[in-house]
Amino acid sequence: MRSWSTETEFLLPGGWRKVRPDAVWQAAEIGVPVLVVEVDRPTMAPPPVAAKFTAYCELFRMKVRDNDLALADQEPADRTVHWWRRTWPGHNRAG
């Protein structure tokens, strides 16, 4: 296991909204590039929990510029990757 962190904060696209999963785990050696864990007790109503999952989907769909020098000759649109791939490198899963 490479990485285990709790209450890690991530900015959503636009930079003003944040998500903070209860845990983030990375184990690329067993095929898990990243696993975001959200654990909420029955004290939280369903709508706020559902909003968290919508925000996580938005976060993992976000694309950013890939700074790989091997891609320098490509068009800017072709140099984008999903944010999570750049944040947690070292895997080969599709998504």
**pLDDT at res. 94:** 63
Distance CA 82, CA 60 (A): 7
On whether residue 45 sits in a domain, the answer given is yes
On whether residue 75 sits in a domain, the answer given is yes
On whether residue 36 sits in a domain, the answer given is yes
Distance CA 95, CA 65 (A): 17
Contacts of 9 (CB under 8 A, 6+ apart): 18, 19, 20
**pLDDT at res. 38:** 85
Q: In the predicted model, is pLDDT for residue 2 greater than 60? A: no
* Number of domains within the chain: 1
On whether residue 53 sits in a domain, the answer given is yes
**pLDDT at res. 31:** 72
On whether residue 24 sits in a domain, the answer given is yes
On whether residue 10 sits in a domain, the answer given is yes
Distance CA 82, CA 46 (A): 28
Tokens representing 91? 């895997």
**pLDDT at res. 4:** 78
Q: In the predicted model, is pLDDT for residue 54 greater than 80? A: yes
For range 24-29, the mean pLDDT: 78
Q: Which structural domain range is residue 34 located in?
A: 3-87
**pTM of the full structure:** 0.67
Distance CA 13, CA 19 (A): 11
Tokens representing 39? 């654990």
Percentage of residues of the chain with pLDDT beyond 90 = 0
For range 41-64, the mean pLDDT: 85
